[in-house]
Amino acid sequence: MAKLDVRKSVDRALAKAEVSDIHTHLYAPCFGDLLSWGIDDLLTYHYLISEFFRATDLPYDAFWKLTKREQAEAIWRALFVERTPLSEACRGVLTTLERLGLDARGKSLEKIRGWYAKQDREKHIDRVFEVAGVRDCVMTNDPFDDAERPVWLKGYRADDRFKAALRIDPVLLNWAKTFPRLADFGYKVSRELTPRTLGEVKRFLREWSERTKALYVGVSLPPTFNVPESSDAATLLEQAVVPVCEERNLPLAMMIGVKRQVNPQLRMAGDGVGLARIEPVEYLCAAFPKTKFMVTMLARENQHALCVAARKFRNLHVFGCWWFVNNPSLIAEITRERLELLGTGFTAQHSDARVIDQVIYKWAHSRKVIGDALVEKYQDLAATGWALSDDDIARDVSGLFGGHFRTFLDRKL
């Protein structure tokens, strides 16, 4: 057999790979305006808002008083016209426009807006999935969100490209404020985590995971997250969330390391990162071997320990390069680290897209960097004399880009 050209084989596999984007903040079309799209939403992405504030002396309040259109104009001017748009978030807007066939070189925001104004939303969604090479995505579904909940209760129309994930941050992270809301929804809960209250939380989790057909239950956690301990969060996690996940064979996805509101003036752009401990992950995987956990961590310094933990526990699935580590230099490093410690047994990336158009750039950029890491590793392997085939590479790539996630969902421990 002729020696395989690894580069070409990886490129072929990447071009063919149909991505499952396993964590996004996108919404199925039936959620109406909750699904963001278009240039003004791209420019007012919170990643760009924080970059904008570094580039301007505009008071925070003055910015927040602007309309979205005006905010987008200010951001375009400061980050794209007056400065070179080198950052990953800026480059992302330009990759997206380029892949959609738009020419942004004239720096005319009006021209871009003109193009978007002519697009039909449904057709645009179809086109974005096709250009991005994404087969489906997983939403972030919060039953406590007053805009989202009514759609689930009335008017929800399933769309195969948008799967659900039940997001439970308010339950775990702010029980004191959340229990009255659960009580309003008809659950017999109290401030104290009595057996009856824990039973009602379980009923809530069962009913909402059933209603949404959630693929997993998800939560973002601060770096200080700890189990076991005698806190509301730990009690709710161990005595309500984990049992329901196990009973329904739903993974619990934990995204660990976000320090919320480091600078509240930035609103949604104001969150930061902190170094977390790996022990809570190890504890949960060991104490609940029949529960499946998916974990991504925000701090670069946590990535190695997470890989080591995943080597120890088959009920731990590592996924994605989240938020502040979703940058080419860090994806390159983290992917190599994971390939070296876990082989191909992880999900290489998720987009975290909030605007549907973003899936184009997030996946274009990640495909390239992850592809380069794979080529390097396959070449090292080929140097041992191991015979690699196109099929091997296609199988690995499809696993890394969603196949392993689907297998993990089906797995019964």
Return d(Cα 154, Cα 306) in angstroms, integer: 40
Cβ 17 to ligand FIX, closest distance in Å?
22
Cβ 124 to ligand FIX, closest distance in Å?
21
Contact 412, 249 (CB under 8 A): yes
Determine if 283 is a binding residue for ligand FIX (CB under 6 A). no
Amino acid in the structure at residue 168: I
Neighbour-count burial of 16, counting CB atoms closer than 10 A to its CB (0-12 exposed, 13-18 middle, 19+ buried)? exposed
* Residue nearest to Zn ion as judged by C-beta position: 352
Return d(Cα 54, Cα 354) in angstroms, integer: 22
Determine if 24 is a binding residue for ligand FIX (CB under 6 A). no
Among 96, 141, 209, 220, binds ligand FIX (CB under 6 A): 220
User: In the chain, count of helices (H) and strands (E)?
Assistant: 20, 10
Determine if 144 is a binding residue for ligand FIX (CB under 6 A). no
Q: Binding to ligand FIX (CB under 6 A): which residues in 344-383?
A: 352, 354
3-class SS of residue 258: strand
Cβ 326 to ligand FIX, closest distance in Å?
7
Phi, psi of 91 (to 5 degrees): -55, -35
Return d(Cα 253, Cα 239) in angstroms, integer: 17
Q: Which is nearer to ligand FIX, 320 or 345 (CB)?
A: 320
Determine if 240 is a binding residue for ligand FIX (CB under 6 A). no
Neighbour-count burial of 119, counting CB atoms closer than 10 A to its CB (0-12 exposed, 13-18 middle, 19+ buried)? middle
Determine if 254 is a binding residue for ligand FIX (CB under 6 A). no
Cβ 23 to Zn ion, closest distance in Å?
6
Cis peptide before 228, with omega less than 30 degrees from 0? Answer: yes
Cβ 284 to ligand FIX, closest distance in Å?
19
Cβ 220 to ligand FIX, closest distance in Å?
3
Among 7, 246, 323, 341, binds ligand FIX (CB under 6 A): 323
Q: Which is nearer to ligand FIX, 352 or 396 (CB)?
A: 352
Buried b (16+ CB within 10 A) or exposed e, 180-205: ebbeeeebebeeebeeebbebbbbbb
* Residue 71 contacts which entry, Zn ion, ligand FIX, none (Cβ below 5-8 A, type-dependent): none
Rule CB under 5 A: which residues touch Zn ion? 352
Tokens of 2: 């002729």
Cβ 400 to Zn ion, closest distance in Å?
20
* Residue 294 contacts which entry, Zn ion, ligand FIX, none (Cβ below 5-8 A, type-dependent): none
Contact 26, 137 (CB under 8 A): yes
Q: Which is nearer to Zn ion, 136 or 352 (CB)?
A: 352
Q: Which is nearer to Zn ion, 142 or 352 (CB)?
A: 352
Return d(Cα 126, Cα 35) in angstroms, integer: 13
Determine if 73 is a binding residue for ligand FIX (CB under 6 A). no
Cβ 81 to Zn ion, closest distance in Å?
30
Angle in degrees, 0-180, between the axes of helices 358-382 and 390-398, rounded to the nearest 10? 140
* Residue 217 contacts which entry, Zn ion, ligand FIX, none (Cβ below 5-8 A, type-dependent): none
**Total residues in contact with ligand FIX, by rule CB under 6 A:** 7
Contact 137, 20 (CB under 8 A): yes
Return d(Cα 279, Cα 291) in angstroms, integer: 17
Determine if 255 is a binding residue for ligand FIX (CB under 6 A). yes
Q: Which residues bind ligand FIX (CB under 6 A)?
A: 25, 140, 220, 255, 323, 352, 354
